[in-house]
Structure 1
Amino acid sequence: MTSYVENETGVEFPFSIEDIVNQIMTEVLDREGCPYEATVSVLLTDNEGIRTFNKEYRGFDKETDVLSFPNVDYETPSDFAILEETADCFDPDSGELVLGDIIISVEKVKEQAESYGHSQRREFAFLVAHSMFHLCGYDHMEAEEAAVMEKKQEEILDRLHITRDES
């Protein structure tokens, strides 16, 4: 598994961003049964930066906490078998599955951690897990979909002992 993390803000956290990304990425892809080595790119930006991306790519002129840009269009979430029919989602040099991109607002990580009363580490890990499930084809537009995604996110965080009560 390969993750590319770019922090354009210079904001530092009291934990290793790369370690959290790699732990979450590994847990999600193992749990979802991904048979491939995979690549994910993560960009850390500020509220204005994520607002710009949100406006340009989604048509919403507002800040958000995380954006996910899947490289694969799954008919069924985590149906990696469909990928055998196409080579354009694999990096030609490494052979890794290019899952997509994640953009996170560092300001939202800090704001939401304080608002929810848990650590920045927990909030950051939650946003990465949430986005990883989007990159695997999950969504939360319908209540049933949201319930499935929420359960999966919590299972990953629990498995990694990244809990709401850590401060």
Structure 2
Amino acid sequence: MHIDFHDETNSIDEAFVDLIERVIQFAGEKEYTANEAELSITFVDNKEIQELNRNYRQKDQATDVISFAMQELGEGEVEVLNEDLPVLLGDIVISVDKAREQAEDYNHSLEREFAFLALHGFLHLLGYDHMNEEDEQKMFKRQEDILNEFGLQRS
């Protein structure tokens, strides 16, 4: 799997990028994601993610992570399959400001918070959601199982 990282804040340490890469690769194996799959992860500040949240979700507030899945078909769209092309999973956008706030609020490491947010976004790209209680329980259990198995338990 190929992950393209973009740090619009110029504040992300290479060790965080390496950790997130390893967690997403690990999750990709657990979820049987194609080796040729591609996605991007972009780090932004609260101002930028609030703008995205407002424009795409009609929620005018900062949030921690937003995913834009490329594999979801919109109304009237036709699925195009070509074995020669990589599977474009989509984009994950993480607020560095929110990650820092939440790591402090939840009293765990910034490493775990970044890994959690990236994994949360990744599972959305794979079709997981939390629009109802049953789906939420399934998604959050999957997140915790993957993070625990990777070795990033909650404190």
TM-score normalized by structure 1?
0.83
Cα offsets for 1:67-115 (capped at 9, x unmatched): 00000127xxxxxxxxxx6237x8x7xx321100000000011000000
1:138 alignment partner in structure 2: 128
TM-align CA RMSD: 1.8
2:33 alignment partner in structure 1: 34
Cα offsets for 1:121-148 (capped at 9, x unmatched): 0000000111111000010011110010
SS at match of 2:68: strand
Structure 1 runs of 4+ aligned residues shifted over 3 Å read none
CA contact (8 A) 1:119 1:164 kept: no
2:140 alignment partner in structure 1: 150
**Code of the aligned partner of 1:12:** I
Is 1:86 aligned to residue 80 of structure 2?
yes
2:10 alignment partner in structure 1: 10
SS at match of 1:16: helix
Please give the alpha-carbon distance, in whole angstroms, between the structure 2 residues aligned to 1:49 and 1:102: 13
TM-score normalized by structure 2?
0.89
Please give the alpha-carbon distance, in whole angstroms, between the structure 1 residues aligned to 2:34 and 2:10: 35
Structure 1: which 5+ runs fail to align?
75-84
Cα offsets for 1:38-64 (capped at 9, x unmatched): 111011000001001111111111100
Is 1:123 aligned to residue 113 of structure 2?
yes
Please give the alpha-carbon distance, in whole angstroms, between the structure 2 residues aligned to 1:20 and 1:86: 33
Residue 102 (structure 1) aligned to one of 76, 92, 95:
92
Give the fraction of aligned pairs with identical amino acids, expressed as a percent: 39
Count of residues in Structure 1 that have an aligned counterpart in Structure 2: 150
Bigger Cα displacement from structure 2, 140-149 vs 28-37: 28-37
**Code of the aligned partner of 2:63:** T
**Code of the aligned partner of 2:4:** Y
**Code of the aligned partner of 2:116:** F
Structure 2: which 5+ runs fail to align?
74-78
Please give the alpha-carbon distance, in whole angstroms, between the structure 2 residues aligned to 1:159 and 1:36: 21
Please give the alpha-carbon distance, in whole angstroms, between the structure 1 residues aligned to 2:19 and 2:122: 12
